[in-house]
A and B are shown apart, each in its own frame.
Chain A
């Protein structure tokens, strides 16, 4: 058994079998991370470059840890401290790095489709998308799926609610693709200005603008960050107003008569999309998501590296 793809560009390109294989492999890596020596030598002949054209804390550290735990050599690259500021193109930068015998590329970029562009020009190198613009963030969706499965046993038939800035969220898009493929039910909630108008038909999801009703429906609430850096027009009047109508608060959760699992991909805007007492409550699995991220990324890199060498 192996992945049907050579790169991880998005969940869109994966099959349900691919997703299951990644999740089950991640489970084995999670056990590895509990051992006294949290490291395996699987990728010790592999060199991976982490190309971050956009800021990141969790994803970057998580990928780097995953690479190190697999025994791979890593190189870190951030656009701001490189020749990119002198005008070098993306393809030139990557070709130069690859000529130094690098096997895999993990890339975050503010332009949607940047990893697809690389994959097209560098078919021999495994490309892992660590977030591209407003398109996809596949490893986040995979770790969300892993965390939900860990908590609820499976994804099939589960009711997952995505709250907030669906329009600008690559986490939302990757999650919708993944949850649809794995047979979960998806509902979106948020201000109408932040939910694309045709998404219901285009993606086969439900939309509920009333957050309380939406919470009443769901098993899991995945709260998304308001992406102020990607909004170039006023889509809601103020952060305070957003919090009043779409912030997940303790009071709101108390009115819903069931124990919903609360998730957030980070970084959290405390007091905006989620209140501190919810983010730090027993219902929240936000820190487990981060922990699981390393195991999931190990699985992705492991499965892609095996394939890369085979061809």
Chain B
């Protein structure tokens, strides 16, 4: 077990990601932030809260998306679905997908499919806390990332939200 990010570093990175997302999207009324269920919810909530604090005048649009029904292994293993809550239109909007760890890219592939069913976004971007680069199985890369790390397939990366740490097992 190895700590990749401690509490202070994690908070700093979330704060940096929030600023980056804000800088790249000058008009927030056109932007929607979508956390991916289940593990992207915590990080996306924190980022959304920070962005809301930094842009007092505009109400930001935030939702969560569950991709269970779009998985490519849906019939090999049964996955229990989580709640999807997107109560606004994404038609013509810029969508920022937010997840905790980017690994094989399969979750994001499913999320891209899922998001299409809500409308046709103008653009979709991806922000992740941890990028496990060199482990990708699909041609998907993040637009924003907190930290990029090199890992083995046998290893596990987990964000421990109670302790606010990112740990490599």
Contacts and interface: CB of A to CB of B under 8 A. Distances in A.
A45 B118 contact: no
Interface in B69-114: 69-71, 74-85, 113
B131 interface: no
A28 B84 contact: yes
B78 A2 contact: yes
A31 B84 contact: yes
Nearest to B117: A37
Given A28-B81, A35-B117, A306 B75 contact: yes
B55 interface: no
Interface of B: 66, 68-71, 74-85, 113, 116-119
Given A31-B84, A302-B69, A306-B75, 19 more contacts: A2-B78, A24-B80, A24-B81, A25-B81, A27-B83, A28-B68, A28-B69, A28-B82, A28-B84, A29-B81, A31-B83, A35-B117, A37-B116, A37-B118, A41-B69, A42-B71, A46-B75, A307-B78, A310-B77
A100 to B, nearest CB: 20
A29 B68 CA distance: 11
Interface of A: 1-2, 21, 24-25, 27-29, 31-32, 35-37, 39-43, 45-46, 302-303, 305-307, 309-310
Contacts, number: 60
A303 B83 CA distance: 16
Contacts of B71: 42
Given A36-B118, A36-B119, A45 B83 contact: no
Contacts of B113: 41
A36 B88 CA distance: 11
A107 to B, nearest CB: 22
A280 to B, nearest CB: 30
A36 B118 CA distance: 6
Contacts of B118: 35-37
Contacts of B75: 42-43, 45-46, 305-306, 309-310
Nearest to A25: B81
Contacts of A46: 75
